[in-house]
Amino acid sequence: MNSMHTLLLLMLLYPLEGLSGQTGQVAGQQLNLMPIPAELTPGEGRFRLADDFTITVSGPASDRAYNGATRMLRRLSGRTGLFFHQDFIGPDDTASTAPLELKWSRAGQVILGENESYTVEVTADYITLSTETDIGILRGLETLLQLLAADREGYYFPAIRIEDTPRFPWRGLLIDVSRHFMPVDVIKRNLDGMAAVKLNVLHWHLSENQGFRVESKTYPKLHQLGSDGLYYTQEQIKDIIAYADARGIRVMPEFDIPGHATSWLVAYPELASAPGPYTIERKFGVFDPTMDPTRETTYAFLDAFFKEMSALFTDQYLHIGGDEVEGSQWEANADIQAFMREHQLSDNEALQSYFNQRILKILTKYDRKLIGWDEIFHPTMPTNIVIHSWRGQKALGEAAKQGYQGILSNGYYIDLIQPTDYHYLNDPIPPQTDLTVKEQASILGGEATMWAEFITPETIDSRIWPRLAAIAERLWSPADVRDVDDMYRRLDVISFQLEELGLTHDKNYPMMLRRLTSNTDIEPLKVLVDVIEPVKIYNRPMQREYTSYSPMTRTVDAARADARVARNFRRLVDEYLNERKAHPATGRRFLGFGRKGRSEKVDEMVTWLELWEANHARLKVIIDQSPVLKEIETLSADLASSATLGLEALKFLEAGKTASPRWVEGKRNVIKAARKPRGQVELMVTTAIDALVKAAGGVLPD
């Protein structure tokens, strides 16, 4: 894979005659592919789209390819408004004159390691997409859709040749539907989003303390008593598996055992290590209830259960969770303690490993491979299991050295509201790895985890997207594709394109602001929320106790990870201060804001700071009518006062004067106070303003 070659080519501007964006951009166009393909060669000319555009197919019968092509045609039509003549593409669409030809050699299987490669060739006159499997066809069609461009003459594909293949075979998204249930349409639209960025595993976290989400015909009390009526019927599960399969995506179920299992025990307390009754857990955290691994009845139950689930779910892998077994029920149970002594199980880990070995036997019987979280990694386990690491590359690497395959989720916890570049630069095989090539091959890929303590169907998309697209690139593209600025540039485009799939990450934002303001003018609230983010990592539940029925409609829920306006402002300040460092100011006169002679960067900073400075007065009027906003009133005031400080600092800097240490210290204390989260949200521009204040005092960043 000649990936440096690829990167350099992507930097090339495709010339675009006569187009000038109203935002003053250069008359040019860049490719906006995500993930970036392995190899790419620009060509000459443009393939023009018109109503007479058609697709021809050539390959063994494949509904996956036919339906994928039909969906692609609809999306093209949706974007361009062109009235294509083809209705549903099928085996009869073999006209040799059709401008887009899809060629595949065999039907693919939606299994780990299947060939997903494709070659796209676009010329001015025709397009060919050729692959080994029909799954490759899907991947290539998504690339084509990302290539669509426009000029005054109409829509076109730029001439290009792409040869592409994924770096890792396991590229997944975990969706936790247990802590908050997600209806079928939420899963489906996210499967469409996953397909758009070439992900290939939906890891479906189906059971938890807070809910058991699958209809079981063998043990119907599981869904009847363990789900509050919120579960998937087996028909719905089959429907989702078929939907995913049509998009080349595996659906791997997770049933988390022996811990995280309260909802099972509501229905079947006899499985527990302590007497019941149990009720569905409404809070979040790690809880005592754990299955009893010492009783044969537990295994008889799980055998029949996994027999049913192995028939329902088609994936080769079945995830048994295995994380965070709390242990207190085991320690308090004399029978269990006696069992451990009898079987020479020295500690809880050994007991859990005994349990896992029993489960492995059951799964093997039903032709399923076992995967579980780090905790299942134990010297007594055979190496034919897969380790799913929430602990990190080190744990994964150690397992690899001992012959275990593994996937990474540490660093991809998108529920923790960290910025995109953090996830993007997190590599399952870091550049400095000490693993041998063979050991590296056992690192299968990774999965982003959408844990569901703080999401609902209304907000889940905004937590997944667009950040997941960057993780998808990490897992598909060559390892040296690591340009953060270019990633962010492309991410904006991809994020917008994802909307056509019904994803709500953008459109629910103003809707939530309307609700927060009782449908008055949302603009002042938007100005604030554009520069705040929910608190990170595990701070949200630290600051307030939540249950599974707490409102998820507050400012913190409308706020989004990696707030773009704030990020761009921070970057602007960085660039400005770096420039000053390179070219120190020399006592020039302050020109006044809004006057000629001031740099564009200063103009832009001033525009933002003045907007924020004036915003609180406007927002205050709305807060007074919307009690739900009361919790962020002082935060809004702090944004205004921080902005004032930023403007003052800029005056010093632009006048070439230096502020006194006392001034700097006083102002920095104000900013420090502004940093304090309120309502579980925090201002994301205080660091940048603090840097301006420090610089006003003569201290530029390192």
Least distance to its own copies, CB of residue 247, Å = 15
Least distance to its own copies, CB of residue 138, Å = 17
Q: Are 97 and 64 in contact (CB under 8 A)?
A: no
Sequence letter at residue 40:
L
Q: Are 69 and 113 in contact (CB under 8 A)?
A: no
Provide the b/e sequence for 155-188 (b: ≥16 CB within 10 Å): bbbbbbebbbbbbbbbbbbbbbbbbbbbeeebbb
Q: How many residues bind its own copies (CB under 8 A)?
A: 66
Q: How far is CA 80 from CA 47, 50, 84, 497, 640, in A?
A: 14, 9, 10, 13, 43
Structure tokens at 407: 């996937």
Q: Alpha-carbon torsion 71, 74, 79, 80, what sign?
A: positive
Q: Rounded distance, CA 268 to CA 262, Å?
A: 10
Candidates 345-353, 377-385, 528-536, 548-556; binding stretch for its own copies (CB under 8 A)? 548-556
Sequence-distant (≥ 6) Cβ neighbours of residue 451 within 8 angstroms: 174, 176, 179, 205, 413, 415
Nearest of 230, 212, 232, 231 to residue 222 by alpha carbon: 212
Sequence letter at residue 420:
T
Task: Rule CB under 8 A: say whether 554 interacts with its own copies.
Answer: yes
Least distance to its own copies, CB of residue 19, Å = 6
Task: Rule CB under 8 A: say whether 547 interacts with its own copies.
Answer: yes
Taking CB under 8 A as the criterion, the residue among 109, 357, 520, 543 binding its own copies is 520
| 57 or 408: CB nearest its own copies | 57
Least distance to its own copies, CB of residue 603, Å = 19
Task: Rule CB under 8 A: say whether 651 interacts with its own copies.
Answer: no
Q: Alpha-carbon torsion 480, 486, 487, 490, what sign?
A: negative
| 44 or 87: CB nearest its own copies | 87
Tell me, residue by residue from 603 to 632, as one string, x for binding to its own copies by CB under 8 A and - for no binding: ---------------x--xx-xxxxx--x-
Task: Rule CB under 8 A: say whether 633 interacts with its own copies.
Answer: no
Tell me, residue by residue from 175 to 214, as one string, x for binding to its own copies by CB under 8 A and - for no binding: --------xxx-----------------------------
Least distance to its own copies, CB of residue 236, Å = 8
**HSE (CB half, 13 Å, CA atoms) of 105?**
8
Strand pairing of 149-151 and 127-133?
Answer: unpaired
**Residues 169/420/540/679 CA torsion (nearest 10 deg):** -150
Tokens 């002082």, residue located: 634
Q: Rounded distance, CA 175 to CA 414, Å?
A: 11
Nearest of 192, 189, 184 to residue 215 by alpha carbon: 184
Sequence-distant (≥ 6) Cβ neighbours of residue 682 within 8 angstroms: 532, 533, 534, 535, 675, 676
| 228 or 398: CB nearest its own copies | 228
Candidates 74-82, 166-174, 198-206, 368-376; binding stretch for its own copies (CB under 8 A)? 74-82
Q: How far is CA 658 from CA 303, 318, 587, 651, 669, in A?
A: 74, 64, 9, 10, 18
| 270 or 492: CB nearest its own copies | 492
Taking CB under 8 A as the criterion, the residue among 8, 11, 21, 538 binding its own copies is 21
Kindly tell me the number of DSSP H helices and DSSP E strands found in the chain: 26, 21
Task: Rule CB under 8 A: say whether 565 interacts with its own copies.
Answer: no
| 20 or 607: CB nearest its own copies | 20
Taking CB under 8 A as the criterion, the residue among 506, 604, 633, 648 binding its own copies is 506
Q: Are 675 and 641 in contact (CB under 8 A)?
A: no
Q: Residues in the chain, how many?
A: 702
Task: Rule CB under 8 A: say whether 13 interacts with its own copies.
Answer: no
Least distance to its own copies, CB of residue 631, Å = 8
Task: Rule CB under 8 A: say whether 500 interacts with its own copies.
Answer: yes
Task: Rule CB under 8 A: say whether 521 interacts with its own copies.
Answer: yes
Task: Rule CB under 8 A: say whether 82 interacts with its own copies.
Answer: yes
Taking CB under 8 A as the criterion, the residue among 92, 235, 434, 600 binding its own copies is 235
| 318 or 498: CB nearest its own copies | 498
Tell me, residue by residue from 263 to 302, as one string, x for binding to its own copies by CB under 8 A and - for no binding: -------------------x--------------------
Peptide bond into 277 cis (omega under 30): yes
Task: Rule CB under 8 A: say whether 327 interacts with its own copies.
Answer: no
| 26 or 441: CB nearest its own copies | 26
Taking CB under 8 A as the criterion, the residue among 84, 299, 413, 663 binding its own copies is 84
Least distance to its own copies, CB of residue 92, Å = 13
Q: Rounded distance, CA 212 to CA 216, Å?
A: 10
Task: Rule CB under 8 A: say whether 74 interacts with its own copies.
Answer: yes
Least distance to its own copies, CB of residue 225, Å = 13
Structure tokens at 90: 């099928």
Task: Rule CB under 8 A: say whether 23 interacts with its own copies.
Answer: yes
Least distance to its own copies, CB of residue 46, Å = 13
Peptide bond into 419 cis (omega under 30): no
Taking CB under 8 A as the criterion, the residue among 58, 77, 105, 117 binding its own copies is 77
Candidates 331-339, 434-442, 545-553, 589-597; binding stretch for its own copies (CB under 8 A)? 545-553
Q: Are 228 and 180 in contact (CB under 8 A)?
A: no
Task: Rule CB under 8 A: say whether 485 interacts with its own copies.
Answer: no
Nearest of 11, 31, 29 to residue 20 by alpha carbon: 29
Candidates 21-29, 292-300, 587-595, 646-654; binding stretch for its own copies (CB under 8 A)? 21-29
Q: Are 329 and 267 in contact (CB under 8 A)?
A: no
Task: Rule CB under 8 A: say whether 568 interacts with its own copies.
Answer: no
Least distance to its own copies, CB of residue 586, Å = 39
Least distance to its own copies, CB of residue 95, Å = 18
Known catalytic residues are 324
Candidates 79-87, 168-176, 198-206, 643-651; binding stretch for its own copies (CB under 8 A)? 79-87
* Interface positions with its own copies (CB under 8 A): 19-23, 74, 77-84, 87-88, 150-155, 183-185, 228, 233, 235, 282, 457-458, 492-493, 496, 499-500, 502, 504, 506-508, 510-511, 514-515, 518-521, 547-554, 618, 621-622, 624-628, 631
